[in-house]
């Protein structure tokens, strides 16, 4: 029999936020010799307005953490990385090679938005803030372009499926994930002489497939490991069967009626997918190639270029439809408003509250010969959500102007890049020695119900829900215990 060191090695895991945005998982490894190594998985921005105040400080000391692992480059997973470095984090950040380039584009754009929104706010005299939320220092942006450069100097890109060491006793393997270009599921292996290894896999946001690239199955040796899986659960209670595939129909109907069709989209991923879908409609001769397609949003052009520069790694040879034109700047945007021809306008931002959508939406919402499609989720208090909530032909106030909603407005869910319930369960079923599932990244009720569903359908040894309140202690054979987190200081942030 192997002699074991007395002290058991463990990994403590905690999610900094109980809902979807502001993704940040804190991990502490304790080795039998007493050494502790701390790492973070993702460090995202809180995007819901009610949680904006949480962005301004960390409830932990960033200088105590040794390294950061990044699953993918959505801003709710990476948006606070420059802030982390600014607050004293000295470690390296590891992510996929592809994600490095995408991260730089996303963070620089975010720094610009943060800087310009501070300038706007300082011009307004009164900032209305709920009295329960402490006023943050709005004279300074969260971070600036220089902070992004500092952070990016510490980012290291890695190939998929190639195990690398981040510490003497900790190795990491990135597995290709269909959620976005460059996204990974991250396998962490913790070893120590005389102890069984701990394996933990972080799904990040997960999708088993992608329109632009193939996702190989995870290597079979991983399926055999005694493993803890930290899974997202955004659509944990949404079945694939409830997704309506209406995009093509809405586009063709609008064109048939000779309208202007506005589609608001996230710059990264969604924009390229919609361009590809329009190209497919043209190829099938369903969409007339003479209909002009305009696209607007500087960041989306940058992402188009990144996608094009990696086209050899993708399963498609092109995604740009025929007859597509870029709108460069405010003048061209205004000129387009007076164009009465049938056309399609693809614009950022997805939720309508940033970027050129702020020009198109207020103008076109009152036009009867117009259809507006929101290509994804729109959060509370965004222009996109507001335009969906107003009833047809209702008079409402928009930027101080009384406006009638005459355009047809739709929000579609078929472009989502998150796994639905069936896919998430299929993913978990791959693991033949599943010790523990930690449910993360979902609305509270969804997480709870999805956790029950996992117990019913898969029955791993244990299932727990990640939250900011408790650490889950994980050992080589799964759950050790759960205990209250009293080392985090939320007093500045709550
Ligand atoms: Zn994501
Ligand atoms: Zn996410």
* DSSP label of 81: H
Structural tokens at position 118: 């501070």
Q: Return the bridge partners of 15, or none.
A: 25
Note the pLDDT of residue 47: 78
Report the Cα–Cα distance between both ends of the chain, in Å, rounded: 51
- Going from the Cα of 391 to the center of ligand 1, the distance in angstroms, rounded, reads 31
- Going from the Cα of 77 to the center of ligand 2, the distance in angstroms, rounded, reads 6
- Going from the Cα of 376 to the center of ligand 2, the distance in angstroms, rounded, reads 13
pLDDT digits (tens, 9 = 90+) for 68-124: 999 999 999 999 999 999 999 999 999 999 999 999 999 999 998 888 877 766 654
- Going from the Cα of 219 to the center of ligand 2, the distance in angstroms, rounded, reads 24
- Going from the Cα of 25 to the center of ligand 2, the distance in angstroms, rounded, reads 12
Count the Cβ atoms, other than its own, within 10 Å of residue 122.
Answer: 12
- Going from the Cα of 342 to the center of ligand 2, the distance in angstroms, rounded, reads 36
- Going from the Cα of 441 to the center of ligand 2, the distance in angstroms, rounded, reads 7
Note the pLDDT of residue 25: 98
Q: List, as one string, the DSSP characters of 90-135.
A: -SEEEEEHHHHHHHHHHHHHHHHHHHHHHHHHHHSS-----TTSPP
- Going from the Cα of 265 to the center of ligand 2, the distance in angstroms, rounded, reads 16
426, 224 contact by CB (below 8 A): no
Mean pLDDT by groups of 10 residues along the chain of 494 residues: 70 92 96 97 87 90 98 96 98 98 95 81 43 47 95 98 98 98 98 97 97 96 98 96 96 98 96 98 98 96 97 96 97 96 96 91 97 90 93 95 97 93 98 98 95 97 96 98 93 54
- Going from the Cα of 118 to the center of ligand 2, the distance in angstroms, rounded, reads 25
At residue 285, the 3 state secondary structure works out as: coil
Assign domain 244-411 to a CATH class.
Answer: alpha beta
- Going from the Cα of 404 to the center of ligand 1, the distance in angstroms, rounded, reads 35
Which residues contact residue 485 at a Cβ distance below 8 angstroms, ignoring those fewer than 6 apart? Answer: 14, 468, 469, 470, 471
- Going from the Cα of 207 to the center of ligand 1, the distance in angstroms, rounded, reads 10
- Going from the Cα of 361 to the center of ligand 1, the distance in angstroms, rounded, reads 25
- Going from the Cα of 381 to the center of ligand 1, the distance in angstroms, rounded, reads 21
17, 443 contact by CB (below 8 A): no
Tell me which ligand sits closest to the C-alpha of residue 441: 2
Note the pLDDT of residue 68: 98
Q: What region, left, alpha or beta, does residue 22 occupy, with left being phi > 0 and alpha being psi -120 to 50 degrees?
A: left
- Going from the Cα of 486 to the center of ligand 1, the distance in angstroms, rounded, reads 29
Assign domain 10-238+436-484 to a CATH class.
Answer: alpha beta
Chain mean position to CA 436: 24
Note the pLDDT of residue 431: 98
- Going from the Cα of 179 to the center of ligand 1, the distance in angstroms, rounded, reads 7
Q: Return the bridge partners of 37, or none.
A: 29
Peptide bond preceding 140 in cis form (omega within 30 of 0): no
Tell me which ligand sits closest to the C-alpha of residue 72: 1
The dihedral formed by the CA atoms of 321, 325, 329 and 335, expressed in degrees to the nearest 10: -130
Q: Where are the domains of the chain?
A: 10-238+436-484, 244-411
Which residues contact residue 371 at a Cβ distance below 8 angstroms, ignoring those fewer than 6 apart? Answer: 250, 253, 254, 259, 260, 261, 262, 407, 408, 409, 410
Count the Cβ atoms, other than its own, within 10 Å of residue 258.
Answer: 12
Count the Cβ atoms, other than its own, within 10 Å of residue 39.
Answer: 22
Report the distance separating Cα 372 and Cα 185, nearest Å: 35
Note the pLDDT of residue 390: 97
Q: Say whether 244-411 and 10-238+436-484 share the same fold.
A: no
- How does the average pLDDT of the chain come out, rounded? 93
Note the pLDDT of residue 115: 86
Note the pLDDT of residue 195: 96
Residue 174's nearest CA partner among 160, 157, 194, 192 is 160
- Going from the Cα of 45 to the center of ligand 1, the distance in angstroms, rounded, reads 12
Tell me which ligand sits closest to the C-alpha of residue 73: 1
């Amino acid at each position: 029999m192997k002699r074991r060191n007395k002290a058991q090695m463990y990994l403590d895991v905690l999610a900094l936020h109980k809902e979807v945005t502001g993704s940040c998982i804190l991990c502490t490894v304790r080795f039998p010799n007493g050494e502790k190594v701390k790492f973070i998985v993702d460090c995202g921005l809180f995007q819901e307005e009610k949680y904006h105040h949480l962005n301004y400080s960390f409830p932990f000391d960033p200088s105590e953490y040794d390294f950061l692992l990044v699953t993918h480059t959505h801003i709710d997973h990476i948006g606070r990385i420059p802030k982390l470095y600014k607050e004293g984090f000295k470690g390296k950040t590891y992510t996929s090679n592809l994600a490095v380039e995408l991260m730089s584009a996303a963070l620089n754009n975010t720094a610009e938005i943060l800087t310009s929104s501070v300038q706007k706010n300082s011009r307004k005299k009164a900032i209305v803030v709920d009295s329960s939320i402490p006023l943050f220092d709005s004279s300074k942006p969260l971070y600036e372009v220089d902070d992004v450069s500092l952070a990016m100097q510490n980012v290291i890109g890695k190939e998929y499926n190639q195990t690398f060491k981040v510490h003497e006793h900790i190795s990491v393997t990135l597995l290709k994930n269909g959620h976005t270009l460059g996204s990974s599921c991250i396998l962490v292996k913790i070893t120590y002489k005389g102890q069984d290894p701990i394996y933990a896999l972080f799904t990040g946001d997960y999708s088993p497939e992608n329109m632009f690239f193939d996702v190989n199955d995870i290597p079979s040796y991983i399926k055999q490991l005694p493993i803890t899986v930290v899974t997202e659960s955004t659509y944990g209670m949404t079945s694939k069967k409830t997704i309506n595939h209406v995009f093509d129909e809405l586009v063709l109907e609008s064109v048939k009626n000779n309208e202007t069709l506005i589609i608001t989209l996230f710059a990264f991923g969604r924009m390229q997918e919609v361009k590809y879908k329009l190209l497919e409609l043209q190829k099938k001769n369903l969409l007339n190639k003479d209909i002009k397609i305009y696209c607007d949003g500087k960041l989306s052009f940058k992402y188009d270029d990144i996608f094009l520069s990696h086209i050899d790694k993708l399963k498609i040879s092109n995604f740009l439809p025929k007859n597509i034109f870029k709108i460069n700047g405010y003048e061209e945007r205004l000129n387009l408003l007076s164009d009465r021809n049938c056309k399609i306008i693809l614009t950022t931002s997805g939720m309508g509250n940033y970027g050129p959508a702020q020009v198109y939406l207020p103008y076109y919402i009152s036009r009867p010969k117009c259809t507006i499609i929101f290509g994804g989720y729109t959060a509370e208090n965004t222009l996109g959500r507001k335009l969906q909530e107003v009833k047809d032909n209702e008079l409402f106030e928009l930027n101080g102007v009384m406006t009638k909603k005459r355009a047809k407005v739709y929000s579609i869910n078929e472009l989502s890049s998150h796994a639905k319930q069936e896919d998430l369960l299929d993913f978990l079923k791959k693991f033949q020695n599943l010790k523990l599932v930690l449910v993360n990244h979902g609305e509270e009720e969804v997480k709870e119900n999805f956790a029950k569903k996992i117990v019913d359908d898969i029955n791993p040894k244990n299932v727990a829900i990640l939250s900011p309140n408790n650490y889950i202690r994980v050992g080589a054979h799964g759950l050790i215990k759960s205990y209250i987190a009293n080392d985090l200081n939320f007093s500045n942030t709550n």
